[in-house]
Amino acid sequence: MAVADAALRDSPEHHKPGGISSSLLGMVLFIASEVMFFGGLFGAYFTIRSAATQWPPEGTPHLDTVYALGLTAVLVSSSVTMQLGVWAIRRNEQRRLVLLLAVTLVLGVTFLAGQANEYRTLIDEGMTLSSGVFGSTFFTLTGFHGAHVAGGAAFILIVLLRARSGQFTARYHDTVEMASYYWHFVDVVWLGLVSTIYLLR
């Protein structure tokens, strides 16, 4: 709750030259806790996989690696536009920040729509959360990540609305930086998921 409160305000005391602000430090600590959360999920996945005689189990629907890599390209691109937005506001380019945040948001929503489409295809082929150990681990890992992407998109939307009203400047823009930290985090987690689930099968 403290992190969320900090995300919705941007006052001078949150910008201390020569060091990290309290709001950015709060986001770093929050991300550190999320790293441990996903670390536990990855650990459970590899434990289950190492105990299985065949992975994925026989009869598991085929995962479309090319499709997943396409989603990866979308999410990585959104991370690039997010960082370009940070650099823009550091130069006090407020209109460019608004544009780049809007592009980032569209790419994030596109990723979520693509993931929903993949879920629909796999469910139609008989793979669900309760259909077996692979389905359970797949939907748990990607589902939690999708929830984090949705949360990040909501955060970016709030930042975008504030940017449109001119609330950020080159001097005061910690909330933009916080959104970028979180968005890069979900990007990195997805790269780990793609490598683990799609490429290392």
Q: Which helix (H) or strand (E) holds 99?
A: helix 94-124
Pick the CATH number of 65-201 from 1.20.120.80, 3.40.630.30, 3.20.20.140, 3.40.640.10: 1.20.120.80
User: Would you state the pLDDT for residue 162?
Assistant: 97
Residue 30 tokens, joined: 């929050």
Determine the residue type at 19.
G
User: Would you state the pLDDT for residue 168?
Assistant: 96
DSSP, collapsed to helix, strand or coil, labels residue 15 as coil
Contact in structure between 97 and 168 (CB atoms under 8 Å): yes
- Report angle CA 14, 8, 24 to the nearest 5 degrees: 40
Parts of the chain with a pLDDT under 70: 1-19
- Report angle CA 104, 112, 116 to the nearest 5 degrees: 165
User: Would you state the pLDDT for residue 178?
Assistant: 97
User: Would you state the pLDDT for residue 19?
Assistant: 61
Domain locations in the chain as residue ranges:
65-201
95-125 pLDDT, tens digit per residue, is 999 999 999 999 999 999 999 999 999 999 9
User: Would you state the pLDDT for residue 9?
Assistant: 47
Whether this prediction's pTM lies above 0.85 is answered by yes
User: Would you state the pLDDT for residue 58?
Assistant: 85
